[in-house]
């Protein structure tokens, strides 16, 4: 799984905050928030899935059913 995640990241593209917000109702886009649970509780994009970065390797397959769909990943940085 580690290799698959690296390949996905390596081939990723940048998506703007505006595009994410415009696509909140788009079920083809998974919005993945990798902030700590406490930070997620305080602020997050509505509809996003919280998967703290420390849990990505162990829990990603449980929370994301289809790795072939678009996945927008964001953190506490500028989003």
Output the pLDDT for position 2.
42
What are 22's two structure tokens?
């415009």
CA distance 59 to 51: 8
pLDDT value at residue 11:
59
Which whole-number Å values give the CA distances from 49 to 32, 58, in the listed order? Answer: 5, 15
pLDDT digits (tens, 9 = 90+) for 14-56: 888 889 889 999 988 999 999 999 999 888 988 999 999 899 8
Break the chain into its structural domains and give their ranges: 2-74
Confidence of residue 77 (pLDDT cuts 50, 70, 90): low
Fold of the domain spanning 2-74: Oxidized Rhodanese; domain 1 (3.40.250)
């Amino acid at each position: 799984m580690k290799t698959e995640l690296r390949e996905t990241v390596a081939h990723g593209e940048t998506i703007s905050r505006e595009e994410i917000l415009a696509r909140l109702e788009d079920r083809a886009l998974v919005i993945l928030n990798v902030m700590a649970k406490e930070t997620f509780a305080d602020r997050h994009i509505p509809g996003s899935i919280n998967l703290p970065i420390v849990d990505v390797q162990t829990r990603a397959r449980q929370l994301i059913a289809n790795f072939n769909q678009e996945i927008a990943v964001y953190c506490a940085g500028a989003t």
